[in-house]
Amino acid sequence: NQGFKQEPPVLQNQYEDDPALQGILFHYLPHSDFEAVTGDLKNLGQRAITDILALGDNAEQHHPTLTQYDHWCRRIDKLETSEGWRALKGVAAEEGLIAIGYERKLRQFSRVYQFAKLYVAGPSMAMYTCPLAMTDGAARLIELHGTQDMKETAFARLTSRDPAKFWTSGQWMTERPGGSDVGGTETEAVKSSDGRGWLLSGFKWFSSATDSDMTFLLARTRDQSTGSVKEGSRGLSLFYAKLRDSDGNLNGIRVHRLKNKFGTKALPTAELELDNLPGSMVGSEHRGVATIAVILNITRIHSALCTTSSLRRSYAIAKSYAEKRVVFGKSLSTQPLHLATLADIDMTLRGAMQLFFFAVLLLGESECHPDESRRALSGTLLRITTPLLKMWVCHEAMPAITEALEACGGQGYMEETGIARQLRDAQVNSIWEGTTNVQALDLLRIVGPVFPVYRKKVLELVSHESLLKLPVSVVKDALDYVQKIIVAMQSWERDQQEAKARLLGFALARILIGALLI
């Protein structure tokens, strides 16, 4: 076995090696907060390439399994996940990956800190970030709409730093008739006569966090007196349920099968039959979709986080490879065309990071900025930024991950190099939590009233023209142009509006990214 052996790419500390991330945190966090969190981020940056990465690798190598019957033909539906996967739950708790967002020690900047940690560690966690995203959304939903009991039990666990207490949550919306359009939901909720609350029966077609402790789900109720149901999504209510009873047995749930997926292999995504699962209604009857939107608007930010951080990890690998690889007599990292290729990847990454952290800043401000009017303004801006973020990052940044894979040549295509996994996993982000088209249609819901606020903010962002001598008038021209389109669109037929919604969303996202980069 003589001959040339290529030095493999090496990952460095995932915080220290990321000046773009440090720059954004320096920009958004007050100096004392920046200083206060640096040590923790450095520590996590190291864990992301050592023990956490090892747990993620273990989870990637040992996929979940389902045993439906024991050898006495008793239905057991035993779901087994890897040691690495289970340990990642403890890591998430200890690192405060949810807790930080709710302890709010950094006030309105707590979300920036929390998401920076997820950004650093996420790509090493074999998609444990998926249950964490839903856990985050569930915590916020309980904070806003939960009962006192839910706050004392579930919320306390979802936001705990103690691995023994920490819970994760699922989110069951999708059924066989539809995931984008949940109006066909077949699951029914019936009020029990024996004091067990609501009993839920139906079929949930995708459940990703099947090993979670609790879930939120949509179901249809019947009018008590007439027995009739209200059709469509406005007949749906939201329910909270615990997956297991006090003995650890599934609570009226049968696991039909585990999904055979393109990526997210460590994640136990299953099809579930519900047969009298006990649950409690959250929010008002028939307001299920509007109430669960609290979760959606958080998990959509997490989806963009996942794609952005997967891109960052892929880029880090490709950059290291370029430094170690010699082609045509010189380092790949000095070949002009390759440098230009890497620069293109970096540009997409910088754009995605800017948009993502801007949304995260708005999230924190909307939740707990001390000034009420600022909370409201950030909430309004967030409402438009979230679909733009989800649709642009999860869709438009994907080719950059493919490019990073190609930048490592044939070895890029090999599992061990580490990019293939990122590419597979990131691919799902444009589908779950609402596809790109669903985000574009969501934009149509709000763009009319919110565009003036968006326009003002974007112009404000580029008002430091003199600092950089950049052609800010270009941003203003683009905004004026889009404004004309939006005004014109209001007189179009609905079909025409929908057909152009995606173009509108991508255009608005690009303008915002441009302004943020400036």
DSSP classification of residue 250: B
Least gap, CB of 428 to ligand FAD (angstroms)? 5
Report the distance separating Cα 26 and Cα 38, nearest Å. 10
Under the criterion CB under 6 A, does residue 110 sit at the interface with ligand FAD?
no
Under the criterion CB under 6 A, does residue 295 sit at the interface with ligand FAD?
no
Report the distance separating Cα 169 and Cα 198, nearest Å. 19
Q: Is the dihedral of CA 464, 468, 471, 474 positive or negative?
A: negative
Pairing of strands 169-172, 214-221: parallel
Q: Which of 141, 296, 322, 391 binds ligand MFK (CB under 6 A)?
A: 296
261's contact among ligand MFK, ligand FAD, none, with CB below 5 to 8 A by partner kind, is ligand FAD
Report the distance separating Cα 133 and Cα 143, nearest Å. 16
Least gap, CB of 262 to ligand MFK (angstroms)? 14
With respect to ligand FAD, which residue has the nearer C-beta, 269 or 308?
269
Report the distance separating Cα 210 and Cα 270, nearest Å. 7
Under the criterion CB under 6 A, does residue 110 sit at the interface with ligand MFK?
no
User: Which string of x and - marks every residue 305-324 that binds ligand MFK (by CB under 6 A)?
Assistant: -x------------------
Q: Which of 29, 99, 121, 173 binds ligand FAD (CB under 6 A)?
A: 173
User: Which string of x and - marks every residue 203-232 that binds ligand FAD (by CB under 6 A)?
Assistant: ---xxx------------------------
- Buried-exposed string 233-257: b where 16+ CB fall within 10 A, e elsewhere: bebbbbbbbbbeeeeeebbbbebee
236 in Cβ contact with 228 (< 8 Å) = no
Q: Which of 135, 159, 174, 417 binds ligand MFK (CB under 6 A)?
A: 174
Q: Which of 111, 46, 54 is nearest to 362 (CA)?
A: 111
Q: Is the dihedral of CA 17, 23, 29, 32 positive or negative?
A: positive
How many helices (H) and strands (E) are present in the chain, helices listed first?
19, 11
306's contact among ligand FAD, ligand MFK, none, with CB below 5 to 8 A by partner kind, is ligand MFK
- Mapping DSSP to helix (H, G, I), strand (E, B) and coil, where does residue 12 land? coil
Q: Which of 98, 173, 408, 508 binds ligand MFK (CB under 6 A)?
A: 173
Stretch that binds ligand FAD, among 117-125, 158-166, 437-445, 467-475 (CB under 6 A): 437-445
Which single residue brings its beta carbon nearest to ligand MFK? Answer: 233
- Mapping DSSP to helix (H, G, I), strand (E, B) and coil, where does residue 18 land? coil
Stretch that binds ligand MFK, among 32-40, 160-168, 288-296, 416-424 (CB under 6 A): 288-296
With respect to ligand MFK, which residue has the nearer C-beta, 156 or 293?
293
H/E/C letters for each residue in 200-244?
EEEEEEEECCCCCCEEEEEEEEECCCCCCECCCHHHEEEEEEECE
445's contact among ligand FAD, ligand MFK, none, with CB below 5 to 8 A by partner kind, is ligand MFK
Q: Which chain residues interact with ligand MFK by CB under 6 A? A: 129-130, 133-134, 171, 173-174, 179-180, 182-183, 208, 233, 289-290, 293, 296-297, 299, 302-303, 306, 432-434, 438, 442, 445
Q: Which chain residues interact with ligand FAD by CB under 6 A? A: 170-174, 178-181, 206-208, 261, 264, 269, 428, 431-432, 434-435, 437-438, 441
